[in-house]
Amino acid sequence: MVSVAVLGYGTVGSGVLEVFNKNHDGIIRKAGAEMQIKYILVRRDYPGVPYQDKFVKSFDTILNDPDVRIVVEVMGGLAPAYDYVYRALEAGKNVVTSNKELVAAYGAELLALAKEKNVNFLFEASVGGGIPILRPLSQCLSANEIAEIVGILNGTTNFILTKMFHEGMAFEKALKIAQDLGYAEKDPSADVNGDDACRKICILASLAYGRHVYPKDVHTEGITKITAEDVRYASSWGGVIKLIGQVKKLENGQIYALVSPAFISRESQLATVDDVFNGILVRGDATGDVVFYGRGAGKLPTASAVVADVIDAAKHLKARKYIGWGAAVDGYVCDYLTVPTTLFVRVAARHRTEALKSVQRLLGNVKEVVVPEVKDELAFVTPSMPEGEIRRALQALETLDYSVISTIHVLDD
Amino acid sequence: MVSVAVLGYGTVGSGVLEVFNKNHDGIIRKAGAEMQIKYILVRRDYPGVPYQDKFVKSFDTILNDPDVRIVVEVMGGLAPAYDYVYRALEAGKNVVTSNKELVAAYGAELLALAKEKNVNFLFEASVGGGIPILRPLSQCLSANEIAEIVGILNGTTNFILTKMFHEGMAFEKALKIAQDLGYAEKDPSADVNGDDACRKICILASLAYGRHVYPKDVHTEGITKITAEDVRYASSWGGVIKLIGQVKKLENGQIYALVSPAFISRESQLATVDDVFNGILVRGDATGDVVFYGRGAGKLPTASAVVADVIDAAKHLKARKYIGWGAAVDGYVCDYLTVPTTLFVRVAARHRTEALKSVQRLLGNVKEVVVPEVKDELAFVTPSMPEGEIRRALQALETLDYSVISTIHVLDD
């Protein structure tokens, strides 16, 4: 009998109990071992919930019970999650977590500790919710060199951008609807500022390229400045706007990583990833483009990914799974401004023809984008150039009194 | 040093060598062991190819070499592949194959033998080519009960149907182009008759539901009868035509499996899977819909899936991976005619209004589909009814001199 302890009884935690009970027979059969959830660590009482005999309030009860071989951390946040996970691994227990903030901040360290203690530290649910992505990336695509990963990694912002795109809604109104539907939290900043997507692209980057990438090293733009006009320009250009996380390996061995809203061509498989769904494109040198699509969040999808990790941990109590990466090194993530990119730019301009001449002088052969109803501005897509050079040209443009209204990345094919 | 033998040096076999050599360092690192390809079994000489020291013509050389721990079968077909794989497993060697015909015909037997000998029998490349699907299905989605799997599983037919849809091309012309481009073989029957897709849905069904499903038990329709008119009707109805394999578990515990062309709504994530790409939708009770998309065939995508299995086998020389299913049982796959379905139907009819009355009398509330340029016929979508009942109603319609021009399944949402 393998005993499991669940830390936290919020959305994901209660989902874990639900999935575990509902599909119990199949889970036991796949794990090849009897399993029980012995403890649920909670901070308050949950009267009326049927697990009163499992609820405990002291982590030490779990830590000191040698029966507990697998600890499931679904509390979220760094404190006390980090402390609990660290001590569980240190005590030789396997850990499964859905906590992307924890993995993005301490992944390398916790993976090293798991290796030292010969236990597993698994976190499939931390990226893409119920979408299988980390295991396929580390196992099925292991014969590939990964050229690039591009993902719509945050369901909340994708819901908002979908509303803005298909219904012409303003950001604030779409956010309000997302909050009313429970897709966005009261304080939506981690979603709309791009921090959540950034944590996830860091985990993907770390796994794909073998060294820890920290969120602080990844330039991150959110969607709060995206307007209904930007969305109409995207449509006129031939695509949609999505918040994407991307990472690729440069020829010099450095990593380029970025989180930002981006124009995506209508032809892309990512363009039809709408509402709260996530989509992750992995470009391998042998396999070409592979896309994973599904619900990136939500109680049961996330819980099912957690329970799948629990099954895997139960199957590998003695044989460690080699999923992981090494410590970060200085200079590994490049300065995003040095890498060629393409930007969509809007500048205020009474006289478009004149403005276009100045733009062409500074940026070369740009491609104009027109939305007839939007007046007094010039909108265009730059050639591919190092982003720093584009930014300098735009500063020069401002000195000519063409003020920049917005800039949005354009995703290469 | 783990020695590997590759049986066959055709498209996939030469791709395996290419991927293995190109990404050698990464592969060794991920396998955690030195690896070499020691033998390549060939039937003829390959002058000028750089692997002369590895070519052997006798399987016994491989079988009798205790250094060989992993045998890669990429010959295709049943003979002599089955014999070689059986003997390799019997001798305690791990086997990796891309051969869907072999797995669909002998999967349960070979998996049982592998289990008995405590070795691995892996075949990720047999479904979806370079798309990770079998491992995610058996591992990442293991906490789910799988409600349904629907897949565009054959790239050749998808290329043909895409040409027919987007360019209004006739079947024969699209097939010719596919052959010229090397996507279809000279004898394209296994693709266009649906046999290839059938083998793949059998493997998916066996893995998802735990018992072997044989191709002979799955009703299979190909795409050879699909016409340019059918394609226009699909468009008018609001979707596209794709060759799909589907399997679902019925409430009585039986399996419903079918391979056929089908109308798919434009809203479906599968509708935009075009050209030679494959797309596989897995519907889990907890995770909801997850879609896997990528190149379902081709030298390097398939080879990369094979090499990923080789890496996994090398990592698990002592700890068997529990991927597999049990033997078939009688009556496990239901008679497809007993299960409710929806059909698109075209009948010859000079007088549409009269014909519609007869149709409604026999089939209830059908939904008419109109393509203005197509004259003298009535086209409609039936309500959901057991397919046998629909077929009987259509026979009754024929006795009224409304001859049936074509019937195509309509995929539920």
Interface of B with A in 137-176 (CB under 8 A): 138-145
Residues 6+ apart with CB under 8 A from A402: A347, A348, A349, A355, A358, A359, A378
Q: What tokens appear for B118 in the block?
A: 């405590």
Chain A residues touching residue B322 (CB < 8 angstroms) = 30, 32, 315
Q: What tokens appear for B90 in the block?
A: 């019997």
Residue listed under structure tokens 């944590």: A199
Cα distance from N-terminal residue to C-terminal residue, chain A: 51
Q: Averaged over A287-301, what is the pLDDT?
A: 94
- pLDDT of amino acid A322: 61
Amino acid at B133: I
The answer to whether residues B211 and B329 touch, using CB atoms and an 8 Å cutoff, is yes
The answer to whether residues A70 and A314 touch, using CB atoms and an 8 Å cutoff, is yes
Q: Do A235 and A346 share a domain, yes or no?
A: no
User: For A121-170, where are the alpha helices, taking DSSP H only?
Assistant: 134-135, 155-167
Alpha-carbon torsion B309, B130, B185, B280, what sign? positive
Instruction: Give me the percent of chain B exceeding a pLDDT of 70.
Output: 99
- pLDDT of amino acid A316: 85
Q: Which pLDDT band, with edges at 50, 70 and 90, does B314 fall under?
A: very high
- pLDDT of amino acid B262: 98
* CATH, residue B308: 3.40.50.720
Give the count of domains, chain B: 3
Chain-chain contact of B316 with A319 (C-beta, under 8 angstroms):
yes
Q: Do B103 and B29 share a domain, yes or no?
A: yes
Q: Do B245 and B211 share a domain, yes or no?
A: yes
Active site residue B200: yes
Q: Is pLDDT above 80 for A130?
A: yes
To which H or E segment does residue B280 belong? strand B277-284
Chain A residues touching residue B20 (CB < 8 angstroms) = 143
Q: What tokens appear for B27 in the block?
A: 């592969």
Cα distance from N-terminal residue to C-terminal residue, chain B: 51
Amino acid at A389: E
The Cα angle at residue A332 between residues A326 and A334, in degrees rounded to 5: 150
Q: Is B284 helix (H, G, I), strand (E, B) or coil?
A: strand
Q: Do A377 and A303 share a domain, yes or no?
A: no
Write down the mean pLDDT value for chain B: 95
In a domain, B309, yes or no: yes
Main-chain phi, psi angles of A97, to 5 degrees: -140, 155
Tell me the C-alpha distance between A293 and A283, whole Å.
15
Tell me the C-alpha distance between A303 and A14, whole Å.
8
In a domain, A328, yes or no: no
Question: Angle, to 10 degrees, between the axis of helix B299-315 and the axis of helix B24-31?
Answer: 30
**If we measure between CA atoms, which residue out of B218, B169, B185, B172 comes closest to residue B76?**
B185
In a domain, B329, yes or no: no
The answer to whether residues A368 and A347 touch, using CB atoms and an 8 Å cutoff, is no
Residue listed under structure tokens 């009987």: B392
Distance (Å) from the C-alpha of residue B323 to the closest C-alpha of chain A? 9
Residues 6+ apart with CB under 8 A from B304: A141, A143, A144, A284, A286, A287, B15, B19, B130
The answer to whether residues A284 and B307 touch, using CB atoms and an 8 Å cutoff, is no
Tell me the C-alpha distance between A173 and A164, whole Å.
9
Amino acid at A399: T
Q: ipTM, 2 decimals?
A: 0.93
Beta strand pairing call for A255-265 and A404-410: parallel
Q: Is pLDDT above 90 for B209?
A: yes
Q: Do A235 and A287 share a domain, yes or no?
A: yes
The total number of residues shown for chain B amounts to 413
Q: Do A279 and A303 share a domain, yes or no?
A: no
Q: Do B277 and B139 share a domain, yes or no?
A: yes
Q: Is pLDDT above 90 for A227?
A: yes
Global pTM reads 0.95
Chain-chain contact of B289 with A294 (C-beta, under 8 angstroms):
yes
Q: Is pLDDT above 90 for B282?
A: yes
Tell me the C-alpha distance between A319 and A363, whole Å.
57
Strand order in the sheet with B94-97: B55-56, B35-41, B2-7, B68-73, B94-97, B121-122
In a domain, A288, yes or no: yes
**pLDDT for A379-408, tens place per residue?**
999 999 999 999 999 999 999 999 999 999
Q: Is pLDDT above 80 for A307?
A: yes
Q: Do A114 and A185 share a domain, yes or no?
A: no
Chain B residues touching residue A319 (CB < 8 angstroms) = 316, 318-319
* CATH, residue B234: 3.30.360.10
The total number of residues shown for chain A amounts to 413
Q: Which pLDDT band, with edges at 50, 70 and 90, does B297 fall under?
A: confident
| Residue that terminates a domain, selected from A295, A329, A364 | A295
Q: Do B146 and B119 share a domain, yes or no?
A: no
Distance (Å) from the C-alpha of residue B359 to the closest C-alpha of chain A? 37
Tell me the C-alpha distance between A40 and A55, whole Å.
5
Beta strand pairing call for B367-368 and B377-381: antiparallel
Q: Is A301 helix (H, G, I), strand (E, B) or coil?
A: helix
Distance (Å) from the C-alpha of residue B219 to the closest C-alpha of chain A? 28
Distance (Å) from the C-alpha of residue B287 to the closest C-alpha of chain A? 4
Compare all CA atoms of chain A with the CA of B300 and give the residue at the minimum distance: A286
Q: Is pLDDT above 70 for A102?
A: yes
Provide the domain limits for residue B351: 336-410
**pLDDT for A316-344, tens place per residue?**
887 776 678 999 999 999 999 999 999 99
Residues paired with B285 in a beta bridge = none
Q: What tokens appear for A5 in the block?
A: 């302890």
Residue listed under structure tokens 């992307």: A100
Q: Which of B200, B242, B248, B321 is catalytic?
A: B200
**pLDDT for A170-200, tens place per residue?**
999 999 999 999 899 899 999 999 999 999 9
In a domain, A331, yes or no: no
Interface of A with B in 189-228 (CB under 8 A): none
Q: Is pLDDT above 90 for B321?
A: no
Main-chain phi, psi angles of A299, to 5 degrees: -55, -60
Cβ–Cβ contact A409 with B under 8 A: no
Tell me the C-alpha distance between A118 and A134, whole Å.
20
**pLDDT for B138-174, tens place per residue?**
988 989 999 999 999 999 999 999 999 999 999 999 9
**Residue A143 is nearest to which of B23, B285, B290, comparing CB atoms?**
B23
Compare all CA atoms of chain B with the CA of A307 and give the residue at the minimum distance: B143
Chain A residues touching residue B311 (CB < 8 angstroms) = 139, 142-143
Q: Is A76 helix (H, G, I), strand (E, B) or coil?
A: coil
Q: Is A89 helix (H, G, I), strand (E, B) or coil?
A: helix
**pLDDT for B69-128, tens place per residue?**
999 999 999 999 999 999 999 999 999 999 999 999 999 999 999 999 999 999 999 999
- pLDDT of amino acid B322: 61
Q: Do A246 and A363 share a domain, yes or no?
A: no
Interface of B with A in 28-67 (CB under 8 A): 30, 32
Q: Do B145 and B275 share a domain, yes or no?
A: yes
* CATH, residue B344: 3.30.70.120
Q: Do A291 and A372 share a domain, yes or no?
A: no
Q: Averaged over B340-349, what is the pLDDT?
A: 97
Chain-chain contact of A136 with B141 (C-beta, under 8 angstroms):
no
Distance (Å) from the C-alpha of residue B112 to the closest C-alpha of chain A? 16
Contact pairs from chain A to chain B, CB under 8 Å = 188
**pLDDT for B217-270, tens place per residue?**
999 999 999 999 999 999 999 999 999 999 999 999 999 999 999 999 999 999
